[in-house]
Amino acid sequence: MLKKLFMLNPQGPIDIPRELVGGLINFMAIAYIIAVNPLILNADGHGFPINPAITSTVLIIVVMTILASFIVKLPFVLAPGMGINAIIAYTFVLHDKLPIPTVLGIILFSSILLFIFSITRVRQVIIHAIPEFLQIALSAGIGLFLFLIGVKNVGLVVSNPNTIIGFGHLSIPVV
């Protein structure tokens, strides 16, 4: 049944325990997103409420992973991106002070646009037009940005009007 459902053609029986371990490993690799995504989207209390953000995050992971499994036939766990959510929370919500319905409209519009780009292969053209060194630099920049958000949330880094950021007080535990 699994062979037909997922169009598998293995050279022998499907190893169910191995597949379950693979699924568990995938879940453990992205489980942090269930906790971190709502915290980032909350934007220090100015963004999305925590409980609906947790529910939305879990539902998105479940629905998109099931769609990837049954429609596209790929064994991928799909989850919200940790870079784009930080841009949404810290740029649109905190800096630009956009209301949540407007932010959700922007997300919907950009999602539709990216879907159209994907089915028309425009996305591939754009990706191939960006030099590899710039792709690597963008990934590193997003990683450093997420690191900065993390150390800010635990109080290791605080706002400083003279130097933009400064060291937090290590004697005051936040976590």
pLDDT tens digits, one per residue of 16-51: 788 789 889 998 999 989 988 998 898 888 889 999
Query: Tokens 């784009």 — which residue?
Result: 84
Residue 152 corresponds to which tokens in the numbers above?
A: 């800010």
Reported pTM: 0.68
Q: Specify the pLDDT at position 4.
A: 66
Nearest to 99 by CA among 57, 54, 47, 42: 47
Over the stretch 83-141, which tens digit does the pLDDT of each residue have?
888 888 888 988 899 998 999 899 899 989 988 998 898 989 999 999 999 999 998 99
Euclidean distance between CA atoms 49 and 7, whole angstroms: 41
Give the distance, in angstroms, between the CA of residue 35 and the centroid of all CA atoms in the same chain: 11
Alpha-carbon span 70 to 6, nearest angstrom: 7
Residue 52 — pLDDT band, cuts 50, 70, 90?
very high
Domain ranges of the chain: 1-80
Q: Residue 62 pLDDT > 90, yes or no?
A: yes
* Residue 159 confidence (pLDDT): 86
